[in-house]
Amino acid sequence: MFFRNLTFFRFPATLDITHLESSVPECALKPAGPLELSSRGFVPPFGRDGETLVHRVGDCLWLTVGGEERLLPSVVVNEEAAKKIEAVEQREGRKLGGRARKKIKEDVLHELLPRAFVRPLRTDAYLDLEHGFIAVDTSSRKQAENVVSEVRRALGSFPALPPNAETSPRGMLTGWIAGDALPEGVALGDECELKDPADRGAVVKCQRQELQSDEIAKHLEAGKQVTRLALNFDDHVSFVLGEDLIVRKLKFLDGAVDALENNERDSVAAELDARFALMSAELKRVFVMVEKAFELSRVE
C-alpha cells in the first residue's frame, strides 16, 4: 500500500477538520447507476473488508477515494449510431438533420450503457494535520484535484491549494545537479530530465547516468535546465522530483522497511496499520524537506 507518487496540496494547519471522520460516510461510494458513466466516493482504505473510511495514526489520516467507470468507447457508440441513422435515412428516403442524429446517438448511449463493463478505480490520499498538507497518490494533477474535491464535498469547505514555491524549482534543481549544496540527508540519484528554456527547445532524458559528469555538465553549459531530478533521502526513500513539485517513482528503501520485516503481525489490518505509520512518517519528512528547500508558502 506504499504510495508511488505524491501530488501535494496545502491547507491551513489551523483548519478544524475534526468532523471529517463523521462526514466522510455521507460521501461514501455508491455504485454507478445503469445510465451513469461514472460514480465517485470514499471507500475503506483497508479494502472491501475495512470497517472505517478514515484510518488515523496520530495527526495523520489515510483516505481513499474509489470510483466506478463504465467502459463504453466512443467509437462503439458512433458505429452503432451510424448504423441506426443509415437505416432511418433509407427507410424515410431523406437525410436526417443534426438534431435527429444527436437524438439517435443519445438513444444508443442509453441503450448500451447498462451493458457496459464497470471498471473500479482507487486513489489514496494522506492528510498531515500538523503541517497542513494532503498528498495524493498520483502524478496527475487533475486526478489529485478530484480527490481534493471529494474531501471538500465531505467537509463543506476545504481551502487546499497546490504548493507555491518562493524559490524557482527549476533553478534549484539545476543548481543541485551543478554542484550546489543539497538539503541535509539528500543525495543525487541516477536520473534527470533537462530542457532548453526556449520554446520547443531540446529535451534530454537521462537514466542510469552519473549526474555530476562531463556529459551532463555540457548540457548545463549549453543552457539546458533541470526539470526532473532523481533524489535519495537518507537511504529511506528515493524519488524523482519535478519542477511542478510532484514526486514520482517514490520507492521505500531498505533503510525504511527493515523494521517492518523484522516484526510479525497477526492480521492484515495490523500489517497495513504498521505500513501506514511508517509511510506517513517518511512522507512527513519528504514534505518538510521540500517545504524548506523551495520555501513553500503557507496557506492562511
**How does DSSP assign 26-46, residue by residue?**
GGB--PPPTT-SEEEEE--TT
Between strands 247-252 and 237-242, the pairing is antiparallel
pLDDT confidence of residue 201:
80
Q: In this structure, is residue 164 part of a structural domain?
A: no
Indicate the pLDDT class of residue 265, thresholds 50, 70 and 90: low
Amino acid at 150: E
Q: Are 132 and 11 in contact (CB under 8 A)?
A: yes
Using only C-alpha atoms, the chain has a radius of gyration, in whole angstroms, of 24
Average pLDDT over residues 152-157: 94
Residues 26 and 49 in one domain: yes
Q: Mean pLDDT throughout 47-61?
A: 88
Q: Which residue has better confidence, 85 or 267?
A: 85
Whole-angstrom distance, CA of residue 63 vs CA of residue 52: 10
Residues 182, 132 share a domain = no
Residues 273 and 237 in one domain: yes
70-97: average pLDDT: 90
Q: Which of 146-155, 211-220, 252-261 has the lowest average pLDDT?
A: 252-261
Q: Are residues 81 and 139 in the same domain?
A: no
Answer yes or no: do 225 and 134 share one domain: no
Domain assignment present for 151: yes
pLDDT category of residue 227 using cuts at 50, 70 and 90? very high
Are residues 106 and 148 located together in one domain of the fold?
Answer: no
**Is 95 in the same domain as 139?**
no
State whether 106 and 127 are in the same domain.
Answer: no
**SS3 label, residue 152:** helix
- In this prediction, residue 263 carries a pLDDT of 62
Q: What is the residue range of 213's domain?
A: 169-294
What pLDDT is attached to residue 11?
A: 95
Sole residue written with cell 472505517 = 52
Question: Is the pLDDT reported for residue 82 higher than 70?
Answer: yes
177 belongs to a structural domain: yes
Number of domains in the chain: 3
pLDDT reading at 87 higher than 70: yes
Asked, for residue 208, whether it belongs to a domain, the answer is: yes
| Judgement on whether residues 173 and 230 belong to the same structural domain of the protein | yes
255 pLDDT band, cuts 50/70/90, is: confident
